[in-house]
């Protein structure tokens, strides 16, 4: 499906979903906007000094924001296509940009419908000089489209059991053939005992995930699990998990389908602390969760599997802490996945609404290979009386199945913003990126960017900004020493 058609259909579907709430017409908010941005760069291609060229680039960004956050449905849709006019060459680029999500409760507490859609520009591959943004001239930047819709059902039979079923249907497309188009389906069904079974509980779940790729191997994962739980005392309980796992990704790794079964014990001395350990056939693991205060919680999980798609050791960690002025977050996950599946992960936030910049994304590019994705993220934010400090770290490693190779992205960022007046705000930022494709030293890239920005609101409808930045480092592939100085002036109007 062509990318622009996918964007159109996804946008219509999201708006229609939220519109299923009869009160939507009175509660929806539609905000058209227009942003004009003028950029001067003294090295528009971000290349070596002997090849550097200066240029002016004009960006014209019409936009529409549709928002509804009330009743039994919610909608957040931002469509902001970008027209780039490159005055040095006379060429133009028209880029699609969309971020949207919607949720509708069709029948109260029973039937639900959710959807997400996105169109964004990302690096094509990690084995070429990474693209800094849309303004820089680069042949390593493509538009990625993704849309997903998920109907779900929740059922209750008094205190006896609860049931859940969902079916996610997703579609991805990357311009330029950087990766195969894919159709993604995820089926999940479960039934579990209710409060009536306080001493002896049970649950049965079935999941089936399929990524169908036209020009590459399909990826299939199926799991059936029966869980039993027996409460010995107020603090201790015995539990067992048994089932069947199947994983298929073509010939990229040795397939090992089969049955598993474990027996374990869980200890929960207080509502704030729980730990468990399990072991058995083809699986063993350990987990704990702890909430020492209302503002702090920690969860850790380790599981070793000998069957299915996610074979081997797998770890996950989540830590959240908040004070009156600060927030701390740390997370680590491991998962066998594909580029197409990652595209369907909902975008939770945009760091800069005017530039649609994301802290973590697809700097490592696209591939049709199957890989173990290891992601470590840490965020810290501290609010001052008139300012805010943000520190971020992200480390992403892709270990390719069936190969002795990996890609790694490290990104560090420090940003401080300060309120000068009711209408003005200044910011300073340092951003570091390191990309290693693991092949040769020429594929290792390091870029550091310094930014100084000033924003001023002329009115409640008109914002202006000025940003000065400098980027330097090496971009691989012979671009061993580059620097770019840039000035950006921007005016944004909301109607």
Which helix (H) or strand (E) element contains residue 13?
A: helix 3-18
Mean pLDDT of 277-300: 96
3-state secondary structure (DSSP) of residue 3 = helix
What are the start-end ranges of the H helices in 80-157?
A: none
The band of 355, judged by pLDDT with boundaries at 50, 70 and 90, is very low
Q: Which domains does the chain have, with CATH numbers?
A: 3-494 (2.40.170)
Report CA torsion sign: 241, 242, 244, 249. positive
Condensed to tens digits (0 to 9), the pLDDT of residues 236-272 reads: 999 999 999 998 887 666 778 999 999 999 999 999 9
Quick one: pLDDT at residue 360? 47
Quick one: pLDDT at residue 436? 85
Q: Tell me the backbone φ, ψ of residue 340, rounded to 5 degrees.
A: -65, -40
C-alpha pair distances (Å), 323 with each of 294, 295, 327: 10, 7, 6
Residues 6+ apart with CB under 8 A from 90: none
Scan for tokens 């971000």, then name that residue.
46
- Give strand ranges (E) for 401-481: 406-419, 424-436, 444-457, 462-474
Which helix (H) or strand (E) element contains residue 26?
A: helix 24-27
495 secondary structure, DSSP code: -
End-to-end CA distance of the chain: 33
The band of 37, judged by pLDDT with boundaries at 50, 70 and 90, is very high
Please provide the size of the chain in residues.
495
Lowest-pLDDT choice from 6-15, 280-289, 421-430, 446-455 = 6-15
Q: How many helices (H) and strands (E) does the chain have?
A: 3, 26
d(CA 39, CA 139) in angstroms, rounded, equals: 19
Most confident of 87-91, 294-298, 305-309, 472-476: 294-298
Q: Is 378 exposed, middle or buried (0-12, 13-18, 19+ CB in 10 A)?
A: middle
Rounded to the nearest integer, the mean pLDDT of the chain is 87
């Amino acid at each position: 499906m062509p990318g622009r058609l996918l964007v159109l259909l996804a946008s219509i579907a999201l708006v229609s979903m939220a519109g299923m709430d009869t009160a939507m017409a009175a509660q929806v908010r539609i905000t058209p906007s227009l942003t004009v941005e003028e950029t001067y760069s003294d090295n528009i291609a971000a290349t070596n000094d002997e090849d550097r060229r200066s240029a002016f680039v004009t960006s014209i960004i019409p936009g529409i924001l549709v928002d509804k956050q009330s009743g039994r449905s919610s909608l957040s849709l931002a469509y902001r296509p970008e027209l780039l006019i490159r005055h040095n060459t006379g060429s133009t680029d028209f880029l699609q940009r969309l971020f949207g999500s919607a949720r509708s409760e069709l029948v109260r507490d029973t039937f639900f419908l959710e959807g997400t859609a996105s169109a964004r520009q990302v690096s094509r591959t990690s084995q070429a000089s990474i693209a800094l943004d849309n303004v820089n001239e680069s042949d390593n930047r493509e538009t990625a489209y993704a849309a997903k819709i998920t109907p779900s059902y929740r059922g209750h039979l008094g205190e006896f059991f609860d049931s859940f079923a969902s079916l996610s249907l997703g579609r991805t497309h990357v311009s330029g053939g950087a990766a195969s188009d894919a159709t993604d389906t995820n089926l999940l069904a479960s039934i579990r005992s209710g409060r009536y079974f306080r001493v002896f509980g049970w649950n049965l779940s079935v999941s089936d995930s399929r990524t169908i790729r036209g020009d590459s191997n399909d990826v299939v994962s199926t799991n059936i699990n029966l869980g039993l739980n027996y409460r010995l005392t107020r603090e201790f309980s015995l539990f067992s998990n048994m089932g069947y796992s199947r994983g298929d990704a073509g010939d990229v790794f040795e397939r090992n389908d089969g049955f598993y079964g474990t027996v374990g014990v869980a200890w929960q001395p207080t509502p704030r602390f729980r730990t468990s350990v399990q072991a058995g056939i083809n699986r063993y693991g350990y987990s704990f969760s702890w909430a020492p205060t209302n503002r702090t919680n920690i969860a850790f999980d380790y599981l070793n599997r000998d069957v299915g798609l996610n074979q081997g050791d797998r770890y996950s960690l989540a830590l959240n802490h908040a004070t009156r002025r600060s927030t701390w977050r740390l997370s680590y996950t491991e998962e066998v996945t594909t580029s197409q599946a990652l595209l369907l992960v909902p975008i939770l936030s945009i760091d800069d609404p005017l530039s649609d910049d994301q802290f973590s994304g697809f700097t490592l590019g696209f591939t049709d290979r199957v890989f173990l994705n290891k992601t470590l993220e840490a965020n810290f934010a501290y609010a001052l009386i008139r300012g805010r400090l943000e520190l971020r770290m992200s480390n992403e490693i892709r270990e390719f199945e069936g190969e002795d190779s990996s890609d790694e992205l490290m990104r560090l960022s420090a940003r401080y913003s300060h309120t000068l007046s009711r209408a003005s705000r200044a910011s300073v930022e340092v951003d570091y990126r390191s990309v290693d494709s693991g092949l040769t030293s020429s594929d290792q890239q390091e870029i550091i960017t310094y930014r100084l920005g000033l924003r001023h609101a002329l009115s409640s409808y008109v914002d202006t900004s000025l940003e000065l930045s400098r980027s330097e480092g090496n971009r691989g592939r012979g671009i061993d020493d580059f620097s770019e100085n840039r000035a950006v002036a921007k005016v944004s109007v909301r109607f």
